[in-house]
Structure 1
């Protein structure tokens, strides 16, 4: 306290420490050497203000530290602690109940018989929910029985912030998802079928202020539609803006056919060729989950295009990577 440094004098200051009066620059210790008893020599000149942080340069009183809806990152934790904030009010994690439906669907730990498939969708959707900060609650597998489906959906709806049913959304004899949604509350089904591939039979609904989503049974369709539509809903339930999707502009390796008036999403891997990244589409059937396992992202074919040509620059939306 009260220490002053005049011309021809210096004092040791530790990193992050306050500088005494009369000092306007700091020489890093590795740029100094002893020149005699009680004397040091600077081996590198410094300009006024060099290696000095002015008061308020990092953050000042009244500055917004983090906006509402911001998802706290590791660096944000450091910033909060740096200004002495050790507790913050956060949004409650939304509870998303996910059901698989279908007499042919069995748990993934069971051996399949002819006509049976393992439950893939409730697990992939649940993983996406957790990735977005929600709490995924797998409700199990429901049979193709109207009374059971409605009863279990009503029970889950009471404690959920969002309800997702996988399968049962195609127009068929088994189509009960849309009617279940209509029975849960107003206004009911808003959209039944969207102009995309994969995932055309997707259902979107609202019941008493809660979002409901009916996904196709095919794993690729369910994954793509929940990624593109469901994830933003989970973020909104937390009062947060959906994060900007990471994408890259790369050259297309092969032609991709499409139909005007429909937006296509094609699983795509990125390959390097002669120092340049190329998009290599993985042509697929919507029930083949490993087309996604082997992909780095989704190639989008816009509504107004009838296809994309090999060699043109395209945009690939990258899958999020954890860890």
Structure 2
């Protein structure tokens, strides 16, 4: 088997963005069950939030101009006209020279345009001494300050966070249309691969690390995972199990069997699952060149490198965005990078993208990225890393102190 149709990192990401979309229809769920899912439709508010102007402090509702010039030595004097109750309408019109006691969250009465804090006043019978002037709008939230009627509150493609559920509840939404969690099936291949729970290893046997790490990474992306087990290097057995899993999943991940070798059947299996077949066969990247991406019908299939560290790096670069595509996440929400300075010179060969694992450390007000070196097959290097830095294919390396974008691991 030889590599054909080798693409750059950018070209591979473009293939993913162009070729794949959610394969399952949106579902409507109660708001409390939608955390972490992705909106399938725009949410337009049918009402304003808050729907009445309210105080943000305990104090007195006033007309701001009645307090102008007030100070400790020369307070403003206002007539106290009753008290506004929590959860009740403010029925009295506030007139010139008047004030009304108001609790935090109380409705601002008509005629008032600000609130003076209780710490800055003194009651003397029905007279209020005000020792600090306030500006219009001070210590209050006006009706509609948070959300306006007809406003786009959230666009389709946004993953719902706790604060998002809060604003949806505030506008009266009790259910929401979301994309179901994509189902990812993982199948490991290789005569040397044995289940990870096997305690005594025979010579040449390797525990299946990838099913554990890739499965966990997929769950961290919001997917449901089917662990498909292990198949040996036999085409018929491999194809049969892959086809079975493919029918159950939205995305099939094949771990191992994607490098050059006479017994590697991954590309043949992927091609046999349906048209249009293989889209990317090899990526000009280190580590992770033997990466394969295919499409059967509308579903994606991806062949990951067998080395655990390489497989996880490829997952973060390509599989995570692919899962996001299946969830309906907008591309603008996918960037997980921060800026940092690289802590040492790192050489690189021109013509391929190198991804260097790094550990972040804070120096003063800046983040610095410390390279974590090790062979691509060493999973321990990822344990010590917070993310990875790309050295672009057209660069011969990066210099100490240079700003880089660190792609954060989940």
Instruction: Pick one of 364, 370, 376 that aligns with 1:280.
Output: 370
2:167 corresponds in structure 1 to: 79
Q: Is the 8 A contact 2:92 2:110 kept in 1?
A: yes
Paired with 1:262 and 1:93, the residues of 2 have a C-alpha distance of 34
1:234 lines up with 2:345 in the alignment: no
Describe the superposition over 1:9-61 as per-residue Cα deviations: whole angstroms up to 9, x where unpaired: 22222333321111111112233333x22333333211122123222222111
Instruction: Say whether residues 1:314 and 2:404 are aligned partners.
Output: yes
The SS at the match of 1:90 is strand
Q: Is the 8 A contact 2:270 2:294 kept in 1?
A: yes
Change (3 A) 1:255 1:155: same
Q: Indicate the residue corresponding to 2:194 in structure 1.
A: 106
Q: 2:357 aligned with 1:271, yes or no?
A: no
SS in 2 for 1:65: strand
Q: CA 1:275 to 1:90, structure 2 compared with 1: closer, same or farther past 3 Å?
A: closer
**How many angstroms apart in 1 are the aligned matches of 2:361 and 2:160?**
33
Report the counterpart of residue 184 of structure 2 in structure 1: 96
Deviations 1:186-243 (A, max 9, x none): 0111111110011000000000110000001001110011111011111111111243
CA distance in structure 1 between the aligned counterparts of 2:195 and 2:121, rounded to whole angstroms: 69
Aligned-pair Cα RMSD in Å? 1.7
Q: Which has the higher contact order (CA 8 A, sep 6+)?
A: 2
Normalising by structure 1, what TM-score? 0.93
2:80 counterpart residue number = none
Cα deviation, 1:133-164, whole Å, max 9, x if unaligned, reads 21111111122121111111111111211100
Question: 2:284 corresponds to which residue?
Answer: 195
Q: Write the mapping of 1:207-218 to structure 2, written as runs, cut at 5 A.
A: 207-218=296-307
| Structure 2 residue aligned with 1:24 | 113
Alpha-carbon separation, structure 2, partners of 1:254 and 1:138: 40
Instruction: Provide the secondary structure at the position in 2 that maps to 1:232.
Output: helix
2:264 to 175, 178, 203: 175
**How far off its partner does 1:108 sit?**
1.8
Residue 131 of structure 1 and its aligned partner are, at CA, apart by 1.6
Query: Partner residue of 2:314?
Result: 225
**For structure 1, which segment, 203-212 or 45-54, has the greater mean C-alpha deviation from structure 2 after superposition?**
45-54
Distance in 2 separating the partners of 1:308 and 1:13: 61
Q: For the Cα contact (< 8 Å) 1:245–1:318, is it kept in 2? A: no
Matching residue of 1:252? 342
Whether the aligned pair in 1 keeps the contact of 2:339 and 2:404 (CA below 8 Å) is: yes
Normalising to structure 2: TM-score of the pair? Answer: 0.74
TM-superposed deviation, 1:75: 0.8
Match of 1:295 in 2: 385
1:249: how far off? 2.9
Distance in structure 2 (CA, Å) of the matches to 1:192 and 1:316:
26
1:144 corresponds to which of 224, 227, 233: 233
Query: Unpaired segments of 5 or more residues in structure 2?
Result: 1-88
Query: What's the counterpart of residue 137 of structure 2?
Result: 49
Q: How many residue pairs were aligned?
A: 319
SS in 1 for 2:330: coil
2:316–2:409: 8 Å Cα contact kept in structure 1? no
Q: Tell me how far apart the structure 2 counterparts of residues 29 and 103 of structure 1 sit (CA, whole Å).
A: 77
Which moved further from structure 2: 88-97 or 246-255?
Answer: 246-255
CA distance in 2, matches of 1:134, 1:41: 61
Maintained 8 Å contact 1:251/1:277: yes
C-alpha offsets along residues 220-270 of structure 1, whole Å, 9 cap, x if unaligned? Answer: 110011111011111111111243333333332222221111001011112
Aligned-partner Cα distance in 1 for 2:214–2:304: 10
**8 Å Cα contact 1:121-1:222 kept in structure 2:** yes
| C-alpha distance in structure 1 between counterparts of 2:235 and 2:355, whole Å | 33
Q: Which has the larger radius of gyration?
A: 2
Shift of 1:272: 4.2
For 1:102 and 1:145, the matched residues in 2 are separated by 9
Please state whether the residue corresponding to 1:80 is helix, strand or coil.
Answer: helix
1:264/1:302 contact within 8 Å kept: yes
